A = this chain, B = another copy of it.
Amino acid sequence: LTSGRTLDTNASFLAGELRRLGGRVDEIRSLPDHLPVLIRTIRELARGRQLLILTGGLGPTEDDRTRHALALAAGKPLRLHPPSLTAIEERFRRSGRTMTANNRTQAMFPASSSPLPNARGTAPGIRMRLGSCRLLAFPGVPHEMKAMWESSSLPLSRELGRRALRLRRLHVFGLTESEVDRRMHPLMLPGRDPEVGLTVQDSVITVTLTSASRTRIARDETLLRRLLGRALFGTDGESLAVVVARLLGRRRQTLALAESATGGLISHLLTEVPGASRILLESRTVYTEGAKRRLGVPAALLRKHGTVSEPVTRALASRIRQVSGSTWGLAATGVAGPSGGSQTLPVGTCFLALAGPEGVRVAQPIFTGDRSQVKRRAALSALDLLRLSSGG
C-alpha cells in the first residue's frame, strides 16, 4: 500500500479496510511529486506484492503526476478514453462550471488499464497490473476515494481470496483512556483472540475487536458491555449525535438548544444526521447578553449571577424549551478562551443544563485544551447528558 502525495486519513482508512479483508499492509509511503521518483517507487513496491494502492495525483493540474508515472512505470502510452471524457464533460455541464483543457487529461489512461468510475468528482481512478501486482489508483479527496473503494473492494476481496476478518468497534464517552484500559485489562492479554485495540479522538474512546470468529467477537462484546456500562454509547462509527437523534426519534421527543459556549456546534453536529429536522425544533446561539435577554432570561438574573453561571444556564434551558415547545431544552455556557478566564471561572469552565418534563439537570465540567477543544468537549458532554437522561 502506497499513498502518493496526500498522506492524511486515506492511508489509515485503507490500511483498516485491507485488514478487514484479511490482508496485511507491508508498507505505507508518502511520495513527492517528482516523476522519476514516482516511477522508480511504483516499480519497486509492485515487485513481489499482490496489491499496490496509490492515492492522489489524479487531478487536472501540473503537479498531478500519478497517471504519467503509472504509464511510464508500465512502459505503456497514455490513451484517451472517450466514455470518461463524456462523463467529465457531463459533470461540468451539470454543475454549470467551465471545463478547461487540462481536465481533458483526466480522461487519459495507460494502455491496457481500466478506468474506475468516480461518481463524486471529475477524476476517474485507474486499475491495472504491473507484473503479478494489482495496482489501484484513487483520487486523493477522501470522500471520493472512500466511495470508489466501496465499489472496488468486494471484487478485490474475492480476487485476493483471503479469509475476511471481522471488526467490531465500540464507542465510549465519559471515561478516561486509562480508566477504559484498566477495565479492559482481562481482554488485553497478548496473543488473545479477538485482538483488542483502543484509540481516542475528541474525548471519544473506541475499542476495536478484531477476529475471524463472529462468535468470539460477540462473546467479548457482551463482556465489554458489562465492564463499560452506560459509558458505551454506540458501535461501528456511530456518533453521539446519531445515537441521540435516534433515541429522541424513537420516543417521538423533540429538542431545542440555547448555545453560548458551544457557539452552534451542538446544532451543527445534530444537523449532520439525516432527518434531524424531525427532532431539532430550534437552536439559538445566544452569544451576547442581548440574545440571552431576547430569549427571556431576566436582566436581573444576568446581573446578579453573570452570564456563565448555573442559574443563567438553567434559565436558558427552560426558556428555549418553553419558547419552542420541545420535550427537552439544552443549554451550554462557559469560558471557551483563550481570554475571559478568572480566578473563580478559569478558561474551560462550563455549565450544561438540560430542562425536561421532570425538571432541570445541571452539570459543571471543566475542560482542558484550546478554544476549539473546549467547545467540542462541551458540545459532546451536552449531547451525552441528553443521551443519559433520555434513556440511552
> Could you list which residues of chain A lie within 8 angstroms of chain B, going by C-beta atoms?
6-9, 11-12, 15, 25, 27-30, 33, 59-63, 95-103, 120, 141, 143, 176-179, 181-182, 188, 197-198, 200, 257, 259, 262-268, 270-272, 274, 276-277, 280-288, 290-291, 294, 323-325, 336-339, 366, 368-373, 375
Contacts and interface: CB of A to CB of B under 8 A. Distances in A.
A283 B285 contact: yes
Q: List the number of copies, as a whole number.
A: 2
**Most chain B beta-carbon neighbours within 10 Å: one of A15, A59, A264, A338:** A264
- The 10 tightest CB contacts between A and B, nearest first, are A263-B271, A264-B267, A283-B285, A264-B264, A282-B291, A264-B268, A100-B178, A61-B181, A28-B30, A267-B285
A205 B118 CA distance: 21
Nearest to A24: B32
Given A62-B188, A177-B59, A281 B272 contact: no
B11 A30 contact: yes
**Most chain B beta-carbon neighbours within 10 Å: one of A15, A120, A143, A267:** A267
B272 A282 contact: no
Contacts of A11: 7, 30
A277 B272 CA distance: 24
A377 to B, nearest CB: 11
A266 B101 CA distance: 35
Given A7-B12, A95-B366, A178-B60, A324 B271 contact: no
A280 B287 contact: yes
B268 A265 contact: yes
Given A179-B98, A257-B285, A369-B120, A268 B272 contact: no
Contact of A7 (B7, B95, B98, B101): B7
A196 B356 CA distance: 56
Contacts of A266: 264
Contacts of A371: 272, 274
Contacts of A276: 263, 287
Given A28-B7, A177-B59, A265-B268, A284 B287 contact: no
A221 to B, nearest CB: 19
Nearest to A63: B197
Contacts of A338: 274
Given A264-B268, A270-B263, A366-B95, A60 B287 contact: no
Given A29-B27, A30-B12, A182-B102, A290 B285 contact: no
B99 A324 contact: no
A220 to B, nearest CB: 15
A282 B294 contact: yes
A265 B263 contact: no
Contact of A178 (B30, B103, B262, B373): B103
A286 B284 CA distance: 8
A122 to B, nearest CB: 8
**Most chain B beta-carbon neighbours within 10 Å: one of A9, A120, A268:** A268
A357 B268 CA distance: 29
A97 B177 CA distance: 11
A100 B373 CA distance: 24
B178 A99 contact: yes
A271 B375 contact: yes
Contacts of A97: 176
A272 B286 CA distance: 15
